[in-house]
Amino acid sequence: MMKKSFLLALFACVFLLGQGRANAQEAKVQFILRIEGLNFSEPFAECSGLGSQNEIIEHHIVYPNGEDLIRKIPGRLRLFEITCRRTVTANRSLWTWRKLIEDGNVDYARQNGEIFLGDSKGVPIARWVFSAGWPASLKISDKDFREEVVLTVEDLERAH
């Protein structure tokens, strides 16, 4: 009887783990990169680097009583480069945008846009708006043949 109970419990665990995996797959997200001035909107499987960081400055204070204090304060703001990856598509809009940089048309290549994150049904999860963004690099990865664009931006704000 104990063996039968153990097998039943094991089966239940395997079933529940399988359900968890199915739910995780159903919850797939999609990123959409929209560039205003070039009038394109491209889907991506993943985008990373949506954020910022401050340099840390250590401010040394010596009080009249001789006590030393080091206070950390925020320094220069740095926006991360944004890396987006997807399966290669027939659409050449990213390559055309990157060619503007290669040809020296930097002012025209700098564009405002947004990155939209939606769930598998397109329901909005988050949205980031950027200004003066341009593709610093664009390549096909060697190991999985995915398209990877690295964007640099002058301003980034989480709008939703």
Element (H, E) at 2: helix 2-26
Residue type, 107: D
pLDDT of residue 27: 54
pLDDT of residue 116: 96
pLDDT of residue 160: 87
**DSSP assignment, residue 81?**
P
pLDDT of residue 28: 83
pLDDT of residue 66: 87
Give pTM, 2 decimals: 0.76
pLDDT of residue 9: 40
What are the residue ranges in the chain where pLDDT is below 70? 1-27
Domains of the chain in sequence order: 28-158 (2.30.110.20)
Torsions phi, psi for 126 (to 5 deg): -160, 160
User: Quick check: 160 and 124 in contact, CB under 8 A?
Assistant: yes
**Nearest Cα to Cα of residue 156 among 73, 61, 52, 41:** 52
pLDDT of residue 121: 87
